[in-house]
A and B are shown apart, each in its own frame.
Chain A
Amino acid sequence: MTLFDLVKKELWYRKSQLISGLLAITLGIAVIVAIRSISVVSEKAVAVKLDNLGANILVLPLTANIDDYYTADIDAPTFSEAAVGKIMSSTLPGIDNMSPKLSRRIKIGKELVVLTGILPKSEIASKPLWQKTGLSGKALKVSCAAPKEENKGSILKDDKLQRRSVDTLSDNHCLIGFSAAKRLNRNENESIVIENKSFLISKILPETGTVDDDRIFANLHLVQQLLGTGAQINSIEIMGCCNEISDGLLTKLRNVLPDTRITTIGQIVSTQIETNQMIKKMMYAFLLIILVVGGVSIGNFIWANVNERKKEIGILRLIGYGKKHIYQIMLAKSLILGLIGGVVGYFLGTLAALWLGPMVVGISVPAIPSLLLMSVTLSVAIALAGAVVPSWLAGKIEPFVNLQDQ
């Protein structure tokens, strides 16, 4: 008859108490696991959606204003393309994606269009420095050859623009915006002469309803040659991670590029930051509630148990058990509760998430095995914390009083 045997028998003897005590902690853990499982997935979903909003940081020449960026005037100020290399070699965390551009208004025949030089993905990836920073493969997503037709909301004014990029764009190819193609009366695979150079139209872009529709996209370095600007650009669009933006990414970028004007596309950034922070805050609020409720209910359970067991504790003291043993018994008991609550709570919560995820949030949620460790740890910690005070009081119980009455 070890102390552990004793604890087991006592738990079994007071089954209903055990079940109600377990219920509190199990449900608490289940709720945490369910929320966590769903929020991990929904955070990812939100991240993908936010990503689709496009660039949120603009690097512009010192003298430029946002309007220049949109209108691409002939005399719009420019800055050196070296800035791209500087950002890359700074290896600032939080820069997901960047795309340098040079835009100018030009005339083709009688029609006014905007010629925009962009860097195709293959060219960016081939820069050894960028490969070294590891950004070319994973983080640097200078892509989206086919503009997606979602996110057409008003705040997403530059949505299509941001994501306009292509895998390869050889020197004699170009892409033409929908209305530019119409005005110039050109089709795909036809040729077009721009600034005295002949290009093959590799694609006519679908209509986006933005300034992009009047643009012609060609290789940045070629555009620089044609316009005679040298290695100049007039904007770098950057996709920064929301957390880093709120962590002062802008200031750091400004330190790297002191001769430029760096702004955020305010609405996009604030939407991203707010969404992420809201999810986080919700998690913390739930966690706090559950910690308090779980801790209190376990404490209450152990306390009620101590009161009910005063006589037994007196008996144990009588036959040679010290206060130390009484603490051990009470803590062993809460440890068992914590373990069971953690494991059962994990499975309940996961099942709930699997079931509720698609129903409530509309996303399918996978089970997250690593949460098992977290829930057991959390549950045991809550149970032990809740049991400390009652156990200490149990140790202080004087056997005298309790042995007197039946």
Chain B
Amino acid sequence: MFLAIKDITKIYQHKDGAVKALNNVTLQVSKGDFVTITGASGSGKTTLLLTLGGLIQPTAGSMHFEGRSINLKNDSDLAKHRKLHIGFVMQHFALVPYLTASENILLALNNSELNRQEQQLRSKELMHLVSLDHRQQHYPRQLSAGQQQRVAIARALANNPAMILADEPTGNLDPVLAMEIMDTLREVNRTYGATIIMVTHSTEAAAYGTRRLQMERGSVAYSDSQSESL
């Protein structure tokens, strides 16, 4: 199995009392899946996504990635895991404001096997992929929302990740741009075979999924294409 999590529970400790954001979630994802996750606000979608990305330490449970058990306690192992295998696309783009588009991509290539020159080439190639060849030296604030999100997608692809985790990637975009971004993601899924797990509130975006999940109060409710349309 490409990705498998078992009995993941996440309890946030808060001064107003503990919040159980994930409740015994067990989930398996096959290579090449385009998984979309929908669900009410506060149902635990972001928590699940960030747990899959190793950014949140679950209170209990285990995770396997490409057959290997992931040590959820070791920060530098998790960081390395993210760098090599995972690309993130977030609602607010998560670009560093004082770096140009291509520098944002180069930041993700730092410490990779590529030398400086190869890193530059790779960054050019990625900017071309998202059709932003002429915007390489632009800062995020000089780019439109859609362009910023495409830079973020280019950066997510920098290290040829096996999996892309996206949290409401179209949440900040108008419907036309949103569909452009969704097309780009589908392309990434089809041409590069990257597994995509995407959280979204939009049914149009969710329709891009080859497999659709719904979350309810910290648990996953499976659903297929037929029941999804209900």
A interface with B by C-beta (< 8 Å): 1-3, 6, 9-10, 12-13, 311-312, 314-325, 398-400, 403-406
Contact = CB atoms under 8 A, between A and B. Distances in A.
B80 interface: yes
A3 B90 CA distance: 23
A9 B98 contact: yes
Interface residues of B, number: 34
B46 A400 contact: yes
Interface of B: 46-47, 50, 53, 55-56, 75-76, 78-80, 82-84, 86, 88, 90, 92, 94-99, 103, 106-110, 119, 155, 159, 167
Contacts of A405: 92
Contacts of A1: 99, 103, 106-107, 109-110, 119
A13 B94 contact: no
Contacts of A403: 90, 92, 94, 167
Nearest to B51: A400
Nearest to A315: B94
Contacts of A321: 79, 83
Given A9-B98, A324-B79, 14 more contacts: A6-B99, A6-B107, A12-B98, A13-B97, A312-B96, A318-B55, A318-B88, A318-B94, A320-B83, A323-B79, A325-B79, A400-B50, A400-B55, A403-B167
19 contacts: A1-B99, A1-B103, A1-B110, A1-B119, A3-B110, A6-B99, A12-B98, A13-B98, A315-B94, A317-B79, A318-B53, A319-B107, A319-B108, A320-B79, A320-B80, A320-B86, A400-B55, A400-B56, A405-B92
Contacts of A400: 46-47, 50, 55-56
Contacts of B96: 6, 312, 315-316
Contacts of B119: 1
Contacts of B108: 319-320
Contacts of B167: 403
Contacts of A398: 55-56
Nearest to A403: B90
A324 B83 contact: no
Contacts of B92: 403-406
The listed residue with most B CB atoms (<10 A of its CB), out of A2, A311, A318, is A318
A320 B109 contact: no
A404 B76 contact: no
A157 B106 CA distance: 80
A400 B167 CA distance: 11
B55 A2 contact: no
Contacts of B50: 399-400
B55 to A, nearest CB: 5
A209 to B, nearest CB: 77
B46 A404 contact: yes
Nearest to A13: B98
A402 B119 CA distance: 28
A6 to B, nearest CB: 7
A3 B155 CA distance: 17
A404 to B, nearest CB: 7
Nearest to B78: A322
B114 to A, nearest CB: 12
Given A1-B103, A9-B98, A318 B56 contact: no
A10 B83 CA distance: 22
